[in-house]
Each structure stands twice: as structure tokens, then as C-alpha cells.
Amino acid sequence: MNPIEVHGLHKRYGQVDAVRDVSFSVEEANIFGLIGPDGGGKTTVIRSIVSLLSFDAGEVLFQGKAVDKNVDYVRSHVGYMPQRFSLYQDLTVAENLRFFADLFNVPRNELGPRVEQLYEFSSLAPFKDRRAGALSGGMKQKLALSCMLVHQPSVIVLDEPTFGVDPVSRNDFWQILKTLAARGTTVLVSTAYMDEALLCDKVALVFKGRILAADAPQLLRTRFEEQLYLAATDAPHIVYAALQKSSLCGECELFGDGVHFTLANGATEADVARALADRGTAFSGIRLIDPGLEDLFLKLMKEQQE
Amino acid sequence: MSNQRPAEGDASAKTAGRDGFAVEVQDLTRTFGDFVAVDHVSFSVARGEIFGFLGANGAGKTTTIRMLCGLLLPSGGRGTVAGYDIMRDYERIKLRIGYMSQKFSLYDDLSVRENIEFYGGMYGLGRGEIADRIDNLFESIGLAEHADKLAGSLPLGWKQRMSLAASLLHDPEIIFLDEPTSGVDPVSRRSFWLLIYALADRGKTVFVTTHYMDEAEYCSRISIMKLGKIVELENPHRLKERYGVSTMQEVFLKAVAGSDI
């Protein structure tokens, strides 16, 4: 039995289909990522799973129990960190932890050791008497995470926990998630950052209420079957414009270090190089590259829109 | 590119600033009590450059940006922004820069056009001036077809374009963008960057602050701040080569390693 199972989930808001036929399952002690842009339905999926939102069709199982019929069970067993987690700004770090422990009926005699363990995880011990409102963004996120771990849930669900957090704190935060998973905690996390996908055991690419693809990130990349090239340049927009006009490319996408493209039927790498050279477009070579998740996401997005 | 050098003897005109530089600072320093938030920072940004400004929280990024925008006086050092002295002419600087905040406060129940008109009014532009500029601006940003829609009804990617339009209406030389494409889908992000490249090609200087390493990749040069100092200042691809890594995230973590923040 997987800790989280979602089958055919569908949610409408008025005329808008926010989530359309979404199915996936999260295995025990895995990190599962819902990856995609804002407005794609990630939060709706997450709220449905933690029993905060009713849905129109489908089945959502939390530790084998239907979430819509076991609301109390889900809420007392899941660790849920919403997008805007409301820490009490006027309470200190230690007071926030104690408050959330009381809320989840953690016995007082167990509180001490648990809090020590959480400090160890989060490196928040030196700041335990600081008001939550005076913490940096990265530390607030770690405190929010600690508060939801205080009742020792075996499944945690986090909605964009690293939004607006700097890269160093993001890295720390992911290290904590990795450690939790290694100790047996099941993690469902959403993010708009594509690079965080690679830190998950499995990801679902979410766009416009649908899952475009779901698998281990290394396997997902292999779904981009065509050969992908990079035309490297310091002026990617100029190379991009030239390739768009050339009709030599299938996929053709702007990246920071150049243009990623596939060849149209019959075209060769040499044709592309010649076309660029003929236009006097500066580029520093063409080479085969391994497709990334962003390449796959772009391709699947376009296929869905067609 | 227009010649920005002032005429001889014109005391009120732009001073300092060598030709071609939109931003030039030397030993820029700002202290708050005993705390040195920005510590002798020197750099210059060429006109038409897309310059990424990175750093961990608390590294001094925001303080630096506020000094460049004329919102905070430096404690030491010197510099020019858009040719104006940051110590003396900060009121002029404010009129020559645009700022696109990640948390741009749009009025959802005003149309795109009404929002931009309102913003133009705040900048002291006359009705005639606003009317003259707005259509061209919407055309160049691809907002024309959405001009009369309510802002609240637009998808995120279009709201960000509208926010960009608001920062450009008074025709600033330099625009500051704060995580301009966070949360948008990969296709919209690319359309946005094509607009930014087009602006830079027309001579606008673009200053990007971001925690989003995907965005850093699109900059022609990036700086990384740590504990009030700039520790890297380089083209992102060359940085990746030098650090021997494949992503900017790795570059960043290595560059700020040992930081106690």
C-alpha cells in the first residue's frame, strides 16, 4: 500500500477545470515532486490530498483510507506545510514549536527530546529565543517545517516550500527533506523550480490541470527521443530568430547559453551551421546535448496545446 | 547609442559616468551602525547589458540596489547611475530608472491600459504624453490585444508583461527587474526573455535580481554577493566552465561556500 494514491482526480471551480484526470502514487520513503508553473493545479491537488478541499470526481487514498471519508484521520496524521505558512510572528522559535506540539497533542514529556532533534535538523538552536518575525526567509521556512514535524508524521506534504528562498537556504532545505526520506518519511512536494525536480525520486510535470508525464527524473529525460543540439552563443535571441526563420529545425527553444533544437526532416547539422554563418549570426559551435527536463516540459506543453 | 557626455560647464547636467556605462560604482559602502551591509563594492555595467545580481539573503543585494535606485545614501564610495551622481543627484536618478517588482500591485478591476495610465500619472507624465507612448509600448511588448482586458482576468505571464510595461512607460535608461519570471511556465518565460533581449538591443540596461538560477542563465554577466562583497563577476557560461559544473546553482553554492548565513 502506497502512503498516497490519487486516481482520476477532477476538480472544477465554476467553469474552470482546475485539475483534470490526475492520477499518481507516492511510494513509501520517497520524495515525489509536483513540478510546474503557477496556476497549473498543484495546490488544488495538494489541498485535495490533505482533505482541505472537496473534489468533483476520482479517488484519493491516504495510507489506504479515502480522504473525503476520513478527514480527522488525515489531518491528525499528515504533516502539511501550506504555501503561506502562518507562524506566529510574535512568538519565539521555541514557543512556536511548543504551540504546534500542543495543537497535535504531543505529550509534554516527549516534547523536549523531539524539539532537540528538530533543532539538530534545522540548525535553529542558536535562534530558539528569537521571534519568528525576525528570522530570515530561509530560517522561517525551516521553522515552519519543524513545526509540522513536531507530531512526527510519517507522510509530509509541502506546497512550494522554497518559494522566494535563496539558493543556499533552498539547498539546506532539500538536504533536510533528503534526510527525512532516508529515515522513512514519505514526502510530497510542489515547486515551480525545474532544478528541484532532479532532487526528487519521482516527479510529475503539471500543466493546466494535467500531468504531462510522471516518472523518475532520469527516466523522464529519456522520453525526449529525438537528438537534441545546442547552438552555443552569447546572443541566444539572435540565433533563435535565425533558426526560427530557417525551417531547418523541429523543436527550437531559447536557453541562456544558446538555442536547443532538433533537426527537421532531411536537415543536417551542417545545414544549420551554414544557415547561421550565411546570415552572419555569431555562434560558437553546435553540439549534441542530453535533453533536460525543461526540454521535455516545453515539448509536452506544446503537444498538449496543439 | 546617444552621447551622454555633458556639455562643458553645464553644472546641472550629468557628470562623471564614462561613455557607455549605465552604472559605475567604486568602493560603494553602506553601514548600519556597526554592521557593514555593503563593503567597498566596485563594478560597472555597460549600456545595453543584461546584468544579473545574485546573492544569498542578507548578502547586501537589496542594500546595493536601494543605493543604485537613489533610495538610500551610501556611507562611502562614489558612483553614477544613468550618468548621475548617486550622492547628489538621486532625485534625478529616480526619474531615469524603472523598477519592476515581483510584487507589482496591479489593480485587478482596472484594465491593462488603465493600470498603465495610472502608473504614468504617478510618474508625473501628462495625459498627452501617456497617450502618445502607450500604444507604441503595448505594441513592442505584445500587450496591444489585451489592452482593454481587466488586469485580474489575465494569466500570470501577461500580468508580468503589464508590470514590465508599467516600469517602461517613462522611458527609463535602466530597468531593475526582481525575479521577473518566477512561477511562469517555460514558454512564457522565454517570450519574456525575448522582450528583455530586444530592450537591451535598443540600448536599455537591464538589472536583474533573482534567486532563480534559470533566470541568471539569461544574463550577459552576473555578480554574486557574499557578506557585503562581490565574490564573482562574470559571464554565466564562463563561470560554469571555471567551476567545472553544469548548473548555475552549483556555481552559486560553491561561490558562497563557507558563508555563515
- Cβ neighbours of B218 in A, within 8 Å: 236, 256
Residue with cell 537528438: A227
Cell output for A257: 547559453
Distance CA(A145)–CA(A224), nearest Å, equals 35
Nearest chain A CA: its distance from B129 CA (Å):
31
Nearest chain A CA: its distance from B62 CA (Å):
13
The string of pLDDT tens digits covering residues B192-240 is 999 999 999 999 999 999 888 888 999 999 999 999 999 999 999 999 9
In terms of Cα–Cα distance, which of B4, B165, B12, B45 is closest to B99?
A: B165
Name the residue among A39, A195, A207 with its Cβ closest to that of B247: A195
Helix axes B156-168, B127-141, angle to 10 degrees: 140
pTM of the model: 0.89
The string of pLDDT tens digits covering residues A91-136 is 999 999 999 999 999 999 999 999 999 998 889 999 999 999 999 8
A 10 A CB-CB count for A100 gives 20
Task: Name the pairing type of β-strands A16-26 and A4-13.
Answer: antiparallel
Tens of each residue's pLDDT in chain A, 306 residues = 999 999 999 999 999 999 999 999 999 999 999 999 988 999 999 999 999 999 999 999 999 999 999 999 999 999 999 987 778 999 999 999 999 999 999 999 999 999 999 998 889 999 999 999 999 888 999 999 999 999 999 999 999 998 888 888 899 999 999 999 999 999 999 999 888 999 999 999 999 999 999 999 999 999 999 999 999 999 999 999 999 999 999 999 999 989 999 999 999 999 999 999 998 898 999 999 999 999 999 999 999 887
A166 contacts B56? CB cut-off 8 A = yes
* Spans of all domains in chain B: 22-255
Helix (H), strand (E), coil (C) string for B39-106:
EEEEEEEECCCEEEEEECCCCCHHHHHHHHCCCCCCCEEEEEECCEECCCCHHHHHHHEEEECCCCCC
A 10 A CB-CB count for A153 gives 17
Superfamily of domain B22-255: P-loop containing nucleotide triphosphate hydrolases (3.40.50.300)
Distance CA(B208)–CA(B220), nearest Å, equals 11
Q: Which of residues 118-157 of A touch B (CB under 8 A)?
A: 136-138
Q: Which of B101, B185, B224 to mutate to test the interface with A (most CBs of A within 10 A)?
A: B185
